[in-house]
Every structure is written in structure tokens, then in C-alpha cells.
Amino acid sequence: MAPDAMREAARSLSDARPVSYWLDDPGKPVARPALTGDERCDLLVVGGGYSGLWTALIAKERDPGRDVVLIEGDEAGWAASGRNGGFCAASLTHGLANGLERWPDEIGKLEALGARNLDAIEETVARHSIDCEFERTGEIDVATQPHQLDELREWHARTEELGLGGFEFLDRERMRGEVDSPTFLGGLLDRRGVAMLHPAKLVWGLKEVCLGLGVRIFEHTPGLALVRSGAGTAVRTPYGRVFAHDVALGTNIFPSLVKRVRPYTVPVYDYALMTEPLTADQLASVGWRNRQGLGDSANQFHYFRLSADNRILWGGYDAVYPYGGRLDSALDQRPETFLKLAGQFFACFPQLSGVRFSHAWGGAIDTCSRFSAFFGTAHRGRVAYAAGFTGLGVGATRFGAEVMLDLLSGRGTERTALAMVRSKPMPFPPEPFAWAGIELTKRSLARADSQGGHRNLWLRTMDRLGLGFDS
């Protein structure tokens, strides 16, 4: 970064609050009291993010008489569910390309289930009047280098041939007519497959709906251990226990109470900035009248979108894996990444020179080697889990909740018959091999971005094995 650009980036960050913009809201609800003593229930849900809240809500919708308890180690939505970009995608497979590569025989069904899932989220938000700024705007994958434009054009043609359309190719002129940046060479528009929303307000709305349906929610109540108890299970907490017939684990990146699941995910720290609200003139200089979410097509990619009050969220690029997979709140702040992101923001939108960032934050994503969620049961089928959403969980966690409830019911469904549900990703190796492999992959991906998309021997080998690293 040139010295002048470095100084501009640094100035833009001088007043940024070191917290998630979404969680820094005066409307944040008061936390529920912690659990003390013993409780009994039909279904215990562990985790108060999207995964757990959707599970509790759908369980009550399926059977209003079911007694459901939800415990959360901190406050509902404080982790990934309150720190993400607010992209709520229909895709269950981390994008059509990843799904087609891994489950080509099921891709039509997976796409249809994903579309139904997003429709169901939209319907739930409307039916319960959840004020989460839901906008079905779609998303554009943007090319910023010539090889990326060629890849988008080829991919668009392939989706048309396979009958998996719904995408629209945009040349440079049309792309810059949608959102104007001198770096944009073209794009691929998905008009209906992605919605934008306020992530924390979705959490808080789901929590309120669950309470209204009779779910008993205890916050500041981590699950410490899970053991068999008669025909069911018991989960120990700091001040008590919960005895349940069934347990659904929505803990994602946090260590699973089923220890054998832990090697399947690693924490990857992702970072984002939020600007101050744009003025009318600043917004006009960018265009963005249709308010789509955007992501560039690099391996080290950015994602960006408008908030309801016309701020720009700008995130991504760096994906930081801490040695040993440790979770540490100190990693939520990374000034060198914020400075890099700010410089890249002004390179993308030079017309916004002088804009300041109001918030800068980070958080951990539960990444798995196939980029999309995996599922399973334990304790004689009385415990179900879903994890590994790899940064695309705003929408897919609702599908994961349905899968967990299907598995706990013991009845086969369209969802449980999927190869995606019946299979597992490759687990990550122990240290130091995990760190070495991830670092080599990251460096190889960065090199591919700088060399016209050329993938070296390491990446080609990973491709053949169906392995990868993403955030």
C-alpha cells in the first residue's frame, strides 16, 4: 500500500468502535437469567445462535406440546450469529459450484431444498413480524481480474446447460450500472437466491418468538458435559443440570459435547468494517440502487453490502487460523487486517475518499474441509448435531435445524436421505500438521490470485481429494 493510501486508511479507522456494528444496538434485549438447579424437558437445545434458535422454534411448531429448553453459554447471538455480514443465502452447499462438485447427482434436489428453506425464512420473518431488515435483493459475484471474468462467463454457460439457471451475466457496463467501481470488470447476478438482513435482529427476533412459543431459555449457561441418564441424557452446567430425552447441539465452532466431532471443524477468524452512513451524494456516486449483496471472485475474497441506513459493510480477505485451533477473544481485533481492509475499500471505491469507519470487528467461523455443514447423531440417537457451516450459516442453519430434528425423530425424510447428510467431511489432522497444511493452502490461494488463477500442485492435489480451506 502506498504511503498516502496507508495514511488515508489509518485515518478512516481512528474512531472505529471495536465491536460488531450489529450487536452495538440500543435495542438489544436483556439477557435471560442463568439456569440454577435441575431442569427436565423433552428436548434440550445447546447454543443460542441461529442453529439453536431455529431448532427450538421448529421443534415447537412441529409439536407445540413438546417441552423445550435452550441454554446459551453467553448471550443469544453474541458469536458468529451477531457478527456476520447478513447474507442469507438459499445455497445449502456453500454455493452451487461446491455442491455440483461434491454431490452432482443430488444438486437439483439440494438447490430446490435450499430455495424452499430461504422462502421459509422469509415467511417466518413476515408471519412473526421479526424486524430484521430482511431484503430479498439477490447477490452479484464480481470479477476484478480478466481471468475471473472468463470464469464467470464459463460458469454461467455451464449452469444454463445443466438447467440450473437463475443467474444473469453482466458485462462491465452493466455491472458498473448496478454498482460503480473502476475495479469491476463484470459480474454474475443471482436475483432471488440471497437476502440481506440485520443478523443480530434476526437472532433477537427468533429468541422472542421462541419465548412466545413456550421455550425456556437460559443464558450465561454453558453446557459443560453430556452423559447418559436412563433412557435420555443429562447436560451439566455451572449451576445445575438439564435432564432431557433428546439433545440438539448447535454449538458450531465451540468444542462439541460429542468429542469425536471436534476434529471436523477448525476456527477461522474473519474480519469486517462498517462505514458511517453515506450521504445522498456519496451513495449516488456508487449507484447500488438495487441494494444487492456483493462478493468478489478471488480466492481471498471480499463481501460487501448496504445496511438499512446506507452504511457499507466491507469484510473478508484475511482468514486467520490460530495455531492449535484456540478460541481467544483477543483475536476479535486485528489492526493489521483492519488497515488492509480499509486500504482495499478505498481502492475499490475511490469516489468515497474521506468516508470513515464506525465499527471494526472479527469473530470465529466453524470451517470444515468440504465448506458446508455436516450432521450426525450420538448417544444411541438421542443426541443430534449440525456444524461446519463455513461462513454460510445465516440461511443454512435453519435447514440444519430441520435435519437435527429429523434425525432425533428416527424417521427417514427427504433431508436425511441426502448423501450430504449421510456423509462427513475429512477431519483436520492434529497439530502441527493442521496449521502447516492450512498455511500452505492460504499461501497457494494468494499466489493463484496474483497469477491469473493458476492453481499450483498443492491446490490441484487438494482439489482431487475434495479438500479445501475457506471462510
One pLDDT digit (tens) per residue for the chain, 471 residues = 787 888 999 999 999 999 999 999 999 999 999 999 999 999 999 999 999 999 999 999 999 999 999 999 999 999 999 999 999 999 999 999 999 999 999 999 999 999 999 999 999 999 999 999 999 999 999 999 999 999 999 999 999 998 887 899 999 999 999 999 999 999 999 999 999 999 999 999 999 999 999 999 999 999 999 999 888 899 999 999 999 999 999 999 999 999 999 999 999 999 999 999 999 999 999 999 999 999 998 888 999 999 999 999 999 998 999 999 999 999 999 999 999 999 999 999 999 999 999 999 999 999 999 999 999 999 999 999 999 999 999 999 999 999 999 999 999 999 999 999 999 999 999 999 888 888 888 888 778 888 888 888 887 877 777 776 666
Distances (CA, A) of 141 to 102, 179, 198, 434: 21, 12, 21, 30
Strands (E), 72-215: 87-89, 139-143, 167-170, 186-190, 194-196
Q: Are the C-beta atoms of 12 and 66 separated by less than 8 Å?
A: no
Q: Are the C-beta atoms of 273 and 313 separated by less than 8 Å?
A: yes
What are phi and psi for residue 450, nearest 5 degrees?
Answer: -90, -5
Coil, helix or strand at residue 229: strand
Q: Using CA atoms, how far apart are residues 362 and 341, in angstroms rounded to an integer?
A: 12
Dihedral of alpha carbons 370, 375, 377, 383, sign: positive
> For the range 126-133, what are the long-range contacts, defined as Cβ-Cβ under 8 Å and sequence gap of 24 or more?
128/205, 128/209, 130/201, 130/202, 130/205, 130/206, 130/208, 130/209, 131/201, 131/205, 132/197, 132/198, 132/199, 132/201, 132/202, 132/205, 133/196, 133/197, 133/198, 133/201, 133/307, 133/308
What are phi and psi for residue 221, nearest 5 degrees?
Answer: -135, 80
- For residue 322, which of 459, 442, 426, 225 has the smallest C-alpha distance? 442
Q: What distance, in Å, lies between the first and last C-alpha atoms of the chain?
A: 24
Establish whether the linkage from the previous residue to 432 is cis, with ω within 30° of 0: yes
DSSP state, residue 431: T
CB under 8 Å to 164, separation ≥6 — which residues? 96, 100, 107, 108, 111
pTM to 2 decimals?
0.96
